Structures are given as C-alpha cells and as structure tokens.
Amino acid sequence: LVAQRLSSHAQRFELERSGDAINLDVKELSLVFRSPGRGRRDFLWEIGSGANWMGYHVSTMLALHAAFQRLPLSHVPHFLVIDQPSQVYFPSGIPDDATDESEDVIATRRIFEVIEQGLIESGYQLQVIVVEHADERTLGPIRTLNKVADWHGKEGEALIPNEWL
C-alpha cells in the first residue's frame, strides 16, 4: 500500500523518476528507485533537486499516514505538519493586476493539489497543517484549504503571539 500510494502521489507531482519502482527502505530510512533495465538501485539522495526531495517527502508522508490509518490500533496521530513546502520554488506571489502562470506558481499549486488528493483518499481522516508564505492567488482554488491567519505586514502578530513570550 505504501509504495503504491507513494508512486501515485509522486506521479501527480510529476517528479523525476516517478515512473520507476519506488520502495521505502526502512533500514536506510530512504526511498529506493529501480528503473526498468538498470541493474542498480538509486537512493533519494542520489537523484534530483530540492523540488524532487520535497515532493517525495510529502508523497511518503501521505502514503505512510494512509497505511497507519488502516491499522486497527495505531498510535500515530491523524495529522501532519508541513513547513513551507513551496520554499523550493520561492513564489513571491502574484501582483494584484496580473495572472502569473509561471512554472513555480504551477508547481506550488500542485503541492496543495497533491495534499488535497491525500486528504480525499483518507476520507478526510487526516488533517494537514501547512505553514506557508504563498497566498491564495498563488495557491488557487483548493476546496480543502482553510486559511487560519496571515501575518504578513501585521506588526506584533506572528505564529507565536508576543504575549506568549
């Protein structure tokens, strides 16, 4: 189940080597890729870019949570926290008077589309909390997206309020 879901998410991301056989090597705590016709196996650290690494990590976490959710008694919480997955693309947002469809914006939207698909596949039994700088114009219409706060340019407001310090 893990390898199948991982591959499915990786293909939605359009990641490098997503068509290969991908397995989680628990001993090495890494992903292993085997291409048809190649005699060797490659680990995640040997391939790709930061975008690939981010995509494979998100894909793996969604696949693992789906597997844990199927266990009759799982002690794994049904939530996942992801910090700034779009950082590998650095979208600066879309100006108010423009509709930017750059590759970075499209790739950033894809992150949230893949996460949304993972939520749908979980029957919404998983909550994903994403701390992100990209705004709604960059992210586009994502049905499961629920913006909680925006601290940009708001003096004294932050993830950790001043009164907590």
Alpha helices in 48-87 (DSSP H): 50-70
Average pLDDT estimate for 85-98: 67
End-to-end CA distance of the chain: 44
With a pLDDT cut of 70, the percent of the chain lying above it is 90
pLDDT above 60 for 96: no
103 Cβ neighbours under 8 A, 6+ residues apart:
none
pLDDT attached to residue 97: 47
CA atoms of 16 and 35, how far apart (whole Å): 12
Q: Tell me the pLDDT tens digit for each residue of 117-161.
A: 999 998 999 999 998 888 777 777 778 888 777 776 666 667 777
Which pLDDT tens digit goes with each residue over 111-129?
999 999 999 998 999 999 9
* Mean pLDDT, the chain, whole residue set: 85
Bridging pattern class, strands 41-43 and 30-34: antiparallel
Look at the block and give the residue holding tokens 């979980």: 122
Q: Both tokens of residue 77? A: 């919480």
Predicted local distance difference test score (pLDDT) of residue 47 = 86
Contact between residue 111 and residue 152 where contact means Cβ atoms under 8 Å apart? no
The tokens for 76 are 């794994």
**pLDDT of residue 99 exceeding 80:** no
Q: Name residue 101's beta-bridge partners.
A: none
Please determine, for residue 80, whether its predicted confidence score (pLDDT) is greater than 70.
yes
* CA distances, 61 to each of 68, 132, 150, 151 (Å): 10, 18, 26, 27
| pLDDT greater than 50 at residue 98 | no
Alpha-carbon distances of 116 from 20, 74, 122, rounded to whole Å: 24, 22, 10
Residue 24: strand pairing partners: 31
